[in-house]
Amino acid sequence: MSDSLRQRILITGGSSYLGRYLVPLAAQSHEVCYTFYQNDPLNLPSGRCLDVREETAVFHLITQFRPHVIIHTAGSNRSDDLDGVICQGAQNVARAVEQVGARLIHLSTDSIFDGLQPPYDETAVPSPVNAYGRAKAAAETIVATYENHVIVRISLIYGLRQMDHGTSWMARALQAGQPVTLFNNQYRNPVWVDTLSRACLELAANDYTGILNVAGRQVLSRAGFSLKMLDWWGITERGTLIIGPSTGGNWPLDCRLDVRRGTAVLTTPLLGVDAVLSFHRNG
């Protein structure tokens, strides 16, 4: 890649499942700095320990590195401080971005919807039913005040080289003989981590702004998706597996995303799970 196309890219949440794929991929063509909160599985010289809730620390890192692009992935649903990490983190990043004029790519989620009026396109208004969805919806509002931004709404992330967190939890529980319930009436568009990583880097280099759904074309129930992942990883223990309907409650039932705009904007193909698995089995 020529120097004119090489960018300085800051990736927050480099220790996340997505970050572990995105950072090395970005580093092939760009100057990359990534952040982690406590543990750094990548252990690269370009890593920086950062708590996105600390405004001064965020400001200092961004104004010192002066990235052309920030890909803000930090904001897990496993945090004990959702509002702090997701909302305050987004606000701190957005404020610092204004000082350096970088492009901001912010990772959001399909969990901002109540699941009652699918499929959801980019014009759909958030209607969260739980704390995580409310925090991510609020973060979208914060990021949208910055002109040069992309809000990337995603679904369940999976990979074929390393188990995603959900599959890892199921595998451990099933192997230990613990009950695992999979819902056959919750629907999502799982997205391959390679697809999402390449889409983020593609968005870093173009001029699209606003919201963009980036997810797999294939809609699957949580049960259907989970069974495909368990099969891929060779988890054969199924004696304590229960498949049945969810009553909803704090988690929406049908969050399928309309990916027609993403397909039109991106050259990265938004492959469904079956297409990804077939490619790897036959390739």
pLDDT at position 249 is 78
CB count in 10 Å sphere of residue 175: 12
Q: pLDDT, tens digit, for every residue of 182-204?
A: 999 999 999 999 999 999 999 99
Question: What pLDDT digit, counting tens, does each position of 197-238 carry?
Answer: 999 999 999 999 999 999 999 999 999 999 999 999 999 999
Which pLDDT value is given to residue 40?
A: 94
d(CA 28, CA 30): 6
What is the CA 70 to chain-centroid distance, rounded? 14
Say what the pLDDT of residue 3 is.
Answer: 52
How far apart are the C-alpha atoms of 39 and 75, rounded to whole Å? 15
Residue type for position 208: Y
Q: Does domain 8-162+191-217+256-270 fall into CATH 3.40.50.720?
A: yes
Inter-residue contact 152 to 74 (CB < 8 Å): no
Sign of CA dihedral 162, 164, 165, 171: negative
- pLDDT tens for the chain, 283 residues: list them: 445 478 999 999 999 999 999 999 999 999 999 999 989 999 999 999 999 999 999 999 999 999 999 999 988 776 778 899 999 999 999 999 999 999 999 999 999 999 999 999 999 999 999 999 999 999 999 999 999 999 999 999 999 999 999 999 999 999 999 999 999 999 999 999 999 999 999 999 999 999 999 999 999 999 999 999 999 999 999 999 999 998 777 889 999 999 999 999 999 999 999 999 998 888 6
The model's pTM: 0.95
Contacts of residues 132-136 at CB distance under 8 Å and 24 or more positions apart, as own/partner, are 132/77, 132/82, 132/86, 133/109, 133/252, 135/75, 135/82, 135/83, 135/86, 135/87, 136/75, 136/86, 136/108, 136/109, 136/111, 136/112
